[in-house]
Amino acid sequence: MQGKFLFSEWLFGALLTLYPARFRSAYGQQMRLAFRDACRAAYRRGGTGGLLALWLPTLLDLFKSALEERAQGEITMSKERLMAWTAPLMVIVGLLWLLAAFTEFMLVAGITSLNTFWDPIWRIPFDLSFFLMLPALLGLRLHTHAGASFTGRFGLLLSVAGCAGMVSLPLIMGVVNATVPPDQVGTLPDYIMAVCLPSIMVGQVLFGVDALRFSLLPRWNFLPLLSGLAILPLLVVITRILMIMRWSELQIIGFTSLELAIFGACWVLMGFAMTGQQRKPSAIAPVAPAV
Amino acid sequence: MSDDIQRLLPLTPTVFHMLLALADGEKHGYAIMKTVEEETQGQMQIRIGSLYGSIQRMIEAGLIRELDERPDPNLEDGAHGADSRRRYYGLTDLGRRVLTAESERIARAMSVIRAKRILGGV
């Protein structure tokens, strides 16, 4: 009799490796103890047949629940990973915007001239930044979701949507260029950017207001608002005014460089502000569906 | 009813019966399994994998808590005597309030069932 128990318990213990390591270390021993009791009760009721009858549903349940825990564990791990990467991603995004600002500044400073090479080169770090900004914003949402009000949450959602639009712009243009004659493509990318960029910035402003009200960041809570405001009035209003005032192209580029630099610096500092902030994902995990 | 309770309702049958099993005192995992089985006349059998998955999520949701020490050092652990390695679980205040709210919901449904004579003249 003892041998059957020992084998059953050994097999059950071996099957526990199907569960994620974290779950196993938290509950593995308790599961073994419970299974030991269940084995003995089943044997008392029905002998070896009772023991075998216990195994089939236990086995099915083990596979099912191990799969659930693995799926749940993956989601939790992804969230934790995203939260851990938020600060470095924000710093990198900020640096890319600073790099874009620098390439623009080189034109203004006369270090290089406006030509077919330098004209589009600032777009490389600028466009690349949105691919990193998207996970950074999602991570920021995870960090601040519990403390933010509707305004802040909506602001971040707006920024995420705008950023997703910017990320999908190359894909959209690829499809458009493949299906639409070149002369009909026109200014579609400009229209997409005209919607997506303000979305990001308005979102930053809304989130920034919330950050100031509820101290959502560990420090320097003025930064999200400043980063949004730096771009919005400058990009939309001042640049327009400068064009009406017939400023030269280089002067307008200089202003754009300043906008990019302010936004970049804000994001670098926000990244540093976020460094070391680790909140448990359980604080933001939706509990109701899981329960 | 407060929002933190409302967002957890309605409970799944497993969670409801596990809370019900803990309503009259702290228990370890296997005792919860057996109590649920007895209280549902064998209609609900929670298997070990599902049991500890539910325990984990209920702890995360703040419905139950793991006790720091055994509720009663002389407590019998089923038919096999005490085992100091066992962990015991008990209801939190939130868990008790959620159980009450869910029981009230079921009781209201029960009164409708009676009024409509769904259970053959009951």
pLDDT tens column, A75-88? 777 788 888 889 99
Choose among B12, B30, B60: nearest Cβ to A34: B30
Residue with more model confidence, A7 or A113: A7
Could you tell me how far CA B27 lies from the centroid of its own chain? 10
A69 in contact with chain B, both atoms CB, cutoff 8 A: yes
Q: Give whichever of A136-150, A193-207, A267-281, B29-43 has the largest mean pLDDT.
A: B29-43
Residue with more model confidence, B83 or A151: A151
pLDDT band at A282 (very low <50, low <70, confident <90, very high): very low
Picking from A101-115, A258-272, B83-97, which range would have the lowest pLDDT averaged per residue? A101-115
Spell out the alpha helix ranges (H) of chain A.
2-15, 21-108, 118-121, 123-144, 150-179, 182-185, 188-214, 223-231, 239-244, 249-274, 287-290
- Dihedral sign, CA of A56, A58, A62, A65? positive
Phi, psi at A276, each rounded to 5°: 90, -10
Beta strand B64-66 with B27-28 is unpaired
Shortest Cα–Cα distance, B112 to chain A (Å): 26
pLDDT tens column, A217-258? 988 999 999 988 877 665 655 566 666 666 666 677 777 788
Residue A163 has pLDDT above 50, yes or no: yes
- Dihedral sign, CA of B108, B110, B111, B116? positive
A45 in contact with chain B, both atoms CB, cutoff 8 A: no
Task: Tell me what pLDDT residue A73 has.
Answer: 73
Please check whether residue A262 is in contact with residue A226, taking contact to mean a CB–CB distance below 8 angstroms: yes
Q: What is the DSSP letter of B87?
A: -
A56 in contact with chain B, both atoms CB, cutoff 8 A: no
The Cα A44–Cα A40 span in angstroms is 6
The Cα B108–Cα B105 span in angstroms is 5
Mean pLDDT within B54-77: 81
Q: Which residues of B touch A19 (CB under 8 A)?
A: 49
Choose among B15, B30, B58: nearest Cβ to A38: B30
B28 in contact with chain A, both atoms CB, cutoff 8 A: yes
Task: Tell me what pLDDT residue A116 has.
Answer: 59
Residue A181 has pLDDT above 90, yes or no: no
| Binding-face residues of B in 63-122 toward A, CB within 8 A | 63, 77-80, 83, 85-87
- Residue B114 burial by Cβ neighbours in a 10 Å radius (0-12, 13-18, 19+): exposed
Task: Tell me what pLDDT residue A286 has.
Answer: 37
SS3 A19: coil
Q: Do A65 and B47 touch (CB under 8 A)?
A: yes
- For A128-172, give the DSSP string: HHHHHHHHHHHHHHHHHTTT--HHHHHHHHHHHHHHHHHHHHHHH
Residue A172 has pLDDT above 60, yes or no: yes
pLDDT tens column, B23-57? 999 999 999 999 999 999 999 999 999 999 999 99
Q: Do B47 and A57 touch (CB under 8 A)?
A: yes
Mean pLDDT of chain A: 82
Residue B79 has pLDDT above 60, yes or no: no
Q: Do B29 and A33 touch (CB under 8 A)?
A: yes
Task: Tell me what pLDDT residue B5 has.
Answer: 84
pLDDT tens column, A143-159? 888 888 999 999 999 99
Mean pLDDT within A65-83: 82
Task: Tell me what pLDDT residue A246 has.
Answer: 66
Q: Do B57 and A290 touch (CB under 8 A)?
A: yes
Residue B1 has pLDDT above 90, yes or no: no
Residue A214 has pLDDT above 60, yes or no: yes
Share of chain A above pLDDT 70, in %: 81
pLDDT tens column, A26-54? 999 999 999 999 999 998 888 888 888 99
Q: Do A290 and B61 touch (CB under 8 A)?
A: yes
Nearest CA in chain B to A281: B60
Q: Which residues pair with B90 in a beta bridge?
A: B65
Residue B7 has pLDDT above 60, yes or no: yes
Choose among A27, A30, A291: nearest Cβ to B61: A291
Beta strand B88-91 with B27-28 is antiparallel
Mean pLDDT of chain B: 87
Task: Tell me what pLDDT residue B45 has.
Answer: 92
Q: Which two tokens stand for residue A224?
A: 């999200």
Shortest Cα–Cα distance, B121 to chain A (Å): 35
pTM of the model: 0.55
Task: Tell me what pLDDT residue A256 has.
Answer: 78
Mean pLDDT within B91-117: 94
Residue A278 has pLDDT above 60, yes or no: no
A282 in contact with chain B, both atoms CB, cutoff 8 A: yes
Phi, psi at A222, each rounded to 5°: -75, -15
The Cα A211–Cα A272 span in angstroms is 16
Task: Tell me what pLDDT residue A203 has.
Answer: 93
